[in-house]
Amino acid sequence: MTDFRIVEEPEILEGSPTPITPASKRLTRGQLVRRRFFRNRGAVVGLIIIGLLVFLALFGGYVLPWRFDQRDTGAYYKPPSVRHWFGTTQAGFDVLAMTIRGLGKSLVIGFLVAIIQTTMAALIGSSAAYIGGWYEKAWLWVIDLMLVLPSFFLIAIVSRGGPRGSYAWLLLVVLLAAFGWQLSARVVRSLSMSVKEREYVAAARFMGLSTPRLLVRHIVPNIASMLIVDVCLGVGYAILGEAGLSYFGYGVQAPDTSLGTLISEGALSTTIAPWIFLAPASLLVLLVMCVNALGDGLRDALDPTSISGGQA
């Protein structure tokens, strides 16, 4: 097969802004996506801030003057000062220390829940659409059934009866994810229905690709834009969902804390002590904004048709 000559001169690419250098190195798909991602300033900034937040959540507790469960009996409801940078709560806890502690918990819960539920939605939705038949019908029944169940109460009841201790929040993650994927799965299914009719899916099937590989290589990437948006929204929803449960005493329990717990606690006293509310709330806003910027960047990097991704 080496004696081929070039059949005709290579065609000239129309409208390509950068001429192709024939000697350019070949990059793998991963390298290409990475390169396209790092061209997007906003996404990179988002990624850096999220990295900083994670760093803060991991190691912040060791450098701060106060620990989150340490009471300052001399300072109840104190506004920000040199002693307590972000002020103190009614019980005399340091707001900064609590916010950092809560951030860690919320980051873990938010990202875990969002990633787990979107992964479930992607796998179940796309496989239901692709395989069809009874498999699809069964999943649709499950989805519809779970959508009508009052998830809040179920989570509340189950987490009440669940194990206690410092890892009890893991059960919360599982429950939040288990009740969060259904709507997305339906959307994924309908999007996959149109993708599976494309010729490249037929081409892959005729190549001998197995069904799981076909789903992961061809169908899921082509609905990636929707999935990324879903993860971004999911992070915010999970953090707030956890806050709601915590407020009623089901989620993260004192003395442990989370951003949601802090916000709901601070919201009660916004008029007299706004600092309790402001610190965790602004951190949450910052976090969600960064996640969205990161998501936009990822979407553009994965989607070759987007202009902002640049040419690659």
Partner 1 sequence: MTATAPFRNTRQTAAGDVVLSVHDLHVTFPSEAGPVRAVRGLSFDLKAGETMAIVGESGSGKSVTSLAIMGLHPRTARITGSVTLHGKELLGLTDAEMSEIRGEDLAMIFQDPLSALTPVYTVGDQIVEAIQTHHSISRSKAWQRAVELLDLVGIPNPDLRVKSFPHEFSGGMRQRAMIAQAIANDPDVIIADEPTTALDVTIQAQVLEVLKTAQRETGAAVIMITHDLGVVAGMSDRVTVMYAGRPVEQGSVDDIFYAPRMPYTIGLLGAVPRLDATNKEPLATLKGNPPSVVNLPPGCPFVPRCPLAHSGCREREPELETVGPDHVAACWENERIRTDSLTSADIFPTQVLAPVEKAVVEKVDQEVVLSLENMKKHYPLMKGAVLRRRVGTVYAVDGIDLTLHRGETLGLVGESGCGKSTTLLEILNLHAPTEGRIVVFGNDTASLKRADKKRMRRDLQVVFQDPMASLDPRMPIFDIIAEPLGVHGWSKEKTEARVMELLKTVGLEEGHANRYPQAFSGGQRQRVGIARALALEPELIVLDEPVSALDVSIQAGVINLLEELKQRLNLSYLFVAHDLAVIRHIADRVAVMYLGKIVEIGSVEEVYNRPSHPYTQALLSAIPIPDPTTERSRTRILLRGDLPSPANPPSGCKFRTRCPLFEGLTAEQRTPCLEAMPPLVTAPAGEPVALESSGVPQRVTTTVPEGGVETDHVVACYYARPVKVL
Q: Which residues bind partner 1 (CB under 8 A)?
A: 1-2, 4, 6-16, 20-24, 26-29, 32, 198-200, 202-204, 206-209, 213, 217-218, 221-222, 224, 302-305, 311-312
Which CB sits closer to partner 1, 35 or 67?
A: 35
Distance in Å, CB of 297 to partner 1, minimum: 16
Which CB sits closer to partner 1, 82 or 207?
A: 207
Radius of gyration of the chain (CA): 24
Distance in Å, CB of 309 to partner 1, minimum: 10
Distance in Å, CB of 219 to partner 1, minimum: 10
Which CB sits closer to partner 1, 62 or 206?
A: 206
Which CB sits closer to partner 1, 269 or 306?
A: 306
Distance in Å, CB of 80 to partner 1, minimum: 48
**Residues in a beta bridge with 88:** 94
The two three-digit tokens of residue 45, written as one number = 């900034």
Q: How far apart are CA 145 and CA 163, in angstroms?
A: 27
Phi, psi dihedrals of residue 182, rounded to the nearest 5°: -65, -45
Instruction: Report cis status (omega within 30 of 0) of the bond before 255.
Output: yes
Which CB sits closer to partner 1, 29 or 164?
A: 29
Distance in Å, CB of 216 to partner 1, minimum: 12
Q: Are 290 and 49 in contact (CB under 8 A)?
A: yes
Q: Which of 108, 109, 99 is nearest to 61 (CA)?
A: 99
Q: Are 222 and 237 in contact (CB under 8 A)?
A: no
